[in-house]
Every structure is written in structure tokens, then in C-alpha cells.
Amino acid sequence: MKKLALSCSILGTMFAVSLGSAQAQATRTWVSGVGDDVNPCSRTAPCKTFAGAISKTAAKGEINCLDPGGFGSLTVTKSLTIDCEDTQGSILASSVTGVNINITTTAAADPVGTVRLRGLSINGAGSCGVGCGTATGIRGVSVSNANTRAVKLFIDEVFIQNFTAEGIFFNGPGGNLSVRNTSIVNTGFSGGQAAGIRVISTSAALIRAVLDNVNVTLNNDGARFEANTNAVIKNSTFAQNNNGIIVFPASLGPANVNIMDTIADNNASSGVFAQGTGQSGTARIFNVTAINNGGNQLSVNANGSILSNGKNHIGTPSSAPGSFPDQ
């Protein structure tokens, strides 16, 4: 009896260890067009979708693509990197948001609060049938206002298109946004304040944003910066939108945007627009080209200002800028 009990105890321990290992989350997981979400998401047994892989990826871990494929929309609840640069992972988001970021981990368990997206195509076009190809996706990438902590979001080499609202919407309680080598096309059909990129803080904490080598074309508005935002835009193009770049805080705190080596051209209304409702909206321009916009090249309304160092290429008409000296 003692031998039997000992054998059962050993078997039970081995089973528990095996079960624990099976449920352990990996720091790196993989997806493939021929994968299966029942797999452990290893390189030799990849998952089918990002949503399947994220449940098996540890906080601060990374999901990679083994081959080109459509890997589905997902909600990110912890620090995570999705890197498909060499294989071009795709998300087809019909009637949903492509990547929704709502970090629910605690700062103690997940101190970095960081999401990185690289080498993705995110498309909001609906499925075929009636209205085949009609844009039904909501947003390409969204930092949800349900976040209770500041998020750092890095977007690199991503193509976003065909969404009814924003291509990128950062709407958290402060945080950091970096968008680099990225194109955002054909978003904002719902009108209103929708834009290719929209940034607005939900708290007194600042959102700090950097846009570098970003192409924002054929959207409702190109980029829109609202409450408690400080942003830098460089080496970028905003064309064929309604407005190119808008600085327009209406609550909580001011918005300040420095724009350099950038084109705001062929937009239906203004190239750069600054206004504020109870808050100041300020744009500073350095080596900016604003020509061939349908309204003012530069537009200023109440509580707004556009300041220039006098080294820009501005067409007419223009209701701005003020000036500031180079030092």
C-alpha cells in the first residue's frame, strides 16, 4: 500500500508539473497562416491568430509572424511587441477596431506599460457580399480611454487604411506615442473630429507624441491634437485631407505642436489650423511647406497661434503666423 501511495504521489506531482509547464506563458510566440490556436504558439507549432497567441505570451513578450497572413484583430491588455517586419502580418478589421489597447496589468506586475507594433498592414475594409470592400472597421489602432495608467505606444512601418473613425486614436490618461515610417490612408468617414491620427488626454497628465516620416493622405483630417498634448512632427506629409494638421484643445489643458521639415499640401481646407476652447492651441513651424490648400494655408482662430521662424514656404491666403527668432 505504501508503495502504491508513493507511486500515485509521484504521478500526481509529475502531472501537476506537466500541467503547469503547458500553461506557462512564453516570452516569444509565433503565428502562421497554417497555424492553430490550440498549439503552444512555438516556432514549430505556431498559432493561427494574434488573439490566440497573446493569451500564451508573457507580459513584455513578443509575437512574431512566420509567414505573411491575416492574423485577426486583438485587444492588448499587457506590455507586448508584435513584430512582423520581414513577413508583413495583416489585420482585417471588419466592424471592429484592429488593435485595441487597454492595459489592465498593475504597475508592479508590468512596470513598462509599453506596446510596440511593427511591420503590419491594418485594413478596415468589410468582408465581401453586399458592399464588398466597404470600409466598416472602426479604428486602426486605439489606446482606449478605459486605460487607468499611462501607455507607451510605438508604431513602426505600419500601413493603416479604410476605417470609419481614426487610423490611430490615442485617448489615454497621459502617456507616449511614437509613429515612424507609417502611412495612414482613407480613414475618418464618420466625419466630426475623426482624423488619421488623433491625440487627446483623458487626465491632467500629458501625452507626448512624435511623428517621424509619416504619410497621412485622403483622411477626414490628417492629424488632430487636443487636450494636454505636446507633439513633434518631422519629415512628414499631410495631403488630400480636409485639414492637414489641427491643434485644437477644448478641455483640461493646452496643446503644443512643433512641426518641422513637413508638407501640408492639397488639403481641402487648411494646411495647418490652430484654435482652442478655453485652452491655448499653439503650432510652431520650421521649414514647413503649405501651398495649394483649398482655404487658408495657415489658419488661426480664437486661443490659437501659429508661430514661424520665417524659414517656411507658405502660399496665400494665410491668417498667420506670428514670428519668433532663430537663436
Q: What is the DSSP string of 217-250?
A: ESSSEEEEE-TTEEEEEES-EEESSSEEEEE---
Distance CA 90, CA 69 (A): 6
Distance CA 55, CA 8 (A): 32
Q: What is the separation of C-alpha 254 from the centre of its chain, rounded to a whole number of angstroms?
A: 22
Letter string b/e over residues 201-210, b meaning 16 or more CB atoms within 10 A of that residue's CB: bbbebbbbbb
Query: With 80 as the cut, is the pLDDT of residue 70 above it?
Result: yes
| Predicted TM-score of the model (pTM) | 0.91
- Of the pLDDT bands very low, low, confident and very high (cuts 50, 70, 90), residue 322 is confident
pLDDT for the residue numbered 128: 67
Query: With 60 as the cut, is the pLDDT of residue 22 above it?
Result: no
Average pLDDT in the 279-283 region?
Answer: 96
Average pLDDT in the 28-36 region?
Answer: 97
pLDDT for the residue numbered 260: 97
Contact 282, 305 (CB under 8 A): yes
- Of the pLDDT bands very low, low, confident and very high (cuts 50, 70, 90), residue 2 is very low
- Of the pLDDT bands very low, low, confident and very high (cuts 50, 70, 90), residue 114 is very high
pLDDT for the residue numbered 132: 72
Contact 128, 94 (CB under 8 A): no
pLDDT for the residue numbered 110: 92
Take residue 317 and report the three cell numbers written for it. 491666403
Distance CA 135, CA 137 (A): 6
Distance CA 84, CA 81 (A): 10
What is the percent of the chain where pLDDT is above 90? 77
pLDDT for the residue numbered 23: 54
Min mean pLDDT across 16-20, 31-35, 117-121 is at 16-20
Contact partners, residue 11, CB within 8 Å, separation at least 6 = none
C-alpha distances in angstroms, 116 versus 171, 225, 244, 287?
Answer: 17, 21, 26, 30
- Of the pLDDT bands very low, low, confident and very high (cuts 50, 70, 90), residue 327 is low
- Of the pLDDT bands very low, low, confident and very high (cuts 50, 70, 90), residue 52 is very high
Distance CA 111, CA 157 (A): 26
pLDDT for the residue numbered 129: 61
Contact 55, 31 (CB under 8 A): no
Min mean pLDDT across 112-116, 227-231, 270-274, 321-325 is at 321-325
- Burial status of residue 19 (CB atoms within 10 A of its CB: 0-12, 13-18, 19 or more): exposed
C-alpha distances in angstroms, 13 versus 3, 10, 40, 318?
Answer: 15, 5, 22, 76
Distance CA 289, CA 260 (A): 9
Contact partners, residue 109, CB within 8 Å, separation at least 6 = 59
DSSP code string of 176-220: EEEEEEEEEEEE-TT-TT--SEEE--SSSSPEEEEEEEEEEESSS
C-alpha distances in angstroms, 98 versus 115, 196, 249, 323?
Answer: 14, 14, 27, 41
